[in-house]
């Protein structure tokens, strides 16, 4: 059974968003980061702007303005990337800032998916609206499992569909949503929603399995350390 799980949830390096693309985009952001640092912009303000743009994107998506909604998602995602860079560069990072950023990220993601779901329901695309719900559930579980694992002292950054991939996929799915050469439906957005629904939940289970494997591997070491500690205590007696 373990071999089967290893083959399914093997934590090999597979990036839906290649590293060279991420690195190139980060380099493009460096002048913007420098400008924000010189202006003394607080990272928490950038986090708040990210939420505002996420709400705006949800409204645009709900009304069917997919291209503009996709652009706004990219702006919101950029705010999410920049706030951390500014916080580290200026030393303004704090425990509250980290918590605030994490909480706003969850709100932003749910709001964007809500806009997509609203559009599908209004246009009687009920099956795809269910896929949006599944995607939201998987997205939240991916983030929750990582946060809970780190609170238990375990690093859990593995996964096929992490937050940056979800944002990029949703943005590009929306950007091409108004292209109607084949159908009047936003096929690219529908396709992306199903991809996120499947891969986000796969990533959640992948992380669960990863943590289980890590704790299973650590348990003999913990047990040995406990026995050594008890042995020392007996010697002291």
Q: For position 82, which CATH number holds?
A: 1.20.120.1760
* pLDDT-derived band at 47, boundaries 50, 70, 90: very high
76 CB neighbour count, 10 Å cutoff:
25
Per-residue pLDDT for 63 more than 70? yes
Q: Is the pLDDT of residue 112 over 70?
A: yes
Instruction: Give how many domains the chain has, as a whole number.
Output: 1
Flag whether 74 is in a domain. yes
Structural domain contains residue 61: yes
Computed over every residue of the chain, the mean pLDDT equals 84
pLDDT at residue 223 greater than cutoff 50: no
pLDDT for 145 beyond 50: yes
Full residue range of the structural domain in which residue 130 is found:
17-236
Task: Extract the tokens encoding 119.
Answer: 């559009």
Is 8 within the bounds of a domain? no
Taking Cα atoms as reference points, which of 109, 208, 87, 206 lies closest to residue 163? 109
Cα 106 to Cα 91: distance, rounded to the nearest angstrom: 24
Is 54:112 a contact under the CB 8 Å cutoff?
A: yes
- What's the pLDDT at 101? 92
9 found inside a domain: no
Report the pLDDT averaged over residues 68-74.
Answer: 95
> Percentage of the chain with pLDDT > 70?
83
Count the residues in the chain.
237
- Looking at the domain assignment, is residue 146 inside a domain? yes
- Is 2 within a domain? no
Let me know if residue 168 belongs to a domain.
yes
Residue labelled with tokens 């605030």: 100
**130-140 confidence digits (pLDDT tens):** 999 999 999 99
pTM recorded for the entire structure: 0.81
Answer whether residue 174 is part of any domain: yes
**Cα separation of 20 and 13, whole Å?**
14
């Amino acid at each position: 059974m373990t071999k089967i799980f290893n083959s399914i949830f093997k934590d090999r390096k597979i990036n839906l968003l290649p590293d060279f693309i991420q690195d190139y985009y980060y380099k493009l952001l460096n002048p913007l980061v420098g400008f924000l640092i010189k202006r003394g912009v607080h990272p928490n303000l950038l986090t708040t702007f990210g939420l505002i743009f996420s709400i705006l994107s949800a409204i645009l998506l709900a009304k069917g303005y997919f291209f503009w909604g996709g652009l706004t998602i990219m702006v919101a995602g950029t705010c999410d990337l920049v706030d951390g860079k500014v916080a580290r560069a200026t030393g303004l990072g704090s425990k509250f800032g980290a918590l605030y950023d994490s909480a706003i990220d969850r709100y932003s993601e749910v709001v964007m998916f809500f806009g997509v779901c609203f559009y599908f329901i209004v246009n009687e695309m009920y099956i795809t609206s269910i896929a949006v719900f599944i995607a939201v559930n998987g997205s939240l579980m991916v983030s929750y499992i990582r946060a809970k694992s780190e609170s238990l002292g375990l690093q859990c950054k593995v996964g096929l569909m992490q937050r940056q991939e979800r944002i990029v996929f949703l943005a590009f799915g929306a950007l091409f949503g108004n292209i109607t050469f084949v159908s009047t439906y936003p096929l690219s957005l529908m396709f992306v929603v199903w991809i996120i629904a499947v891969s986000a939940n796969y990533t959640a289970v992948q992380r669960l399995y990863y943590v289980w494997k890590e704790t299973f591997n650590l348990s003999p070491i913990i047990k040995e350390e406990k026995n050594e500690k008890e042995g020392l205590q007996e010697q002291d007696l």
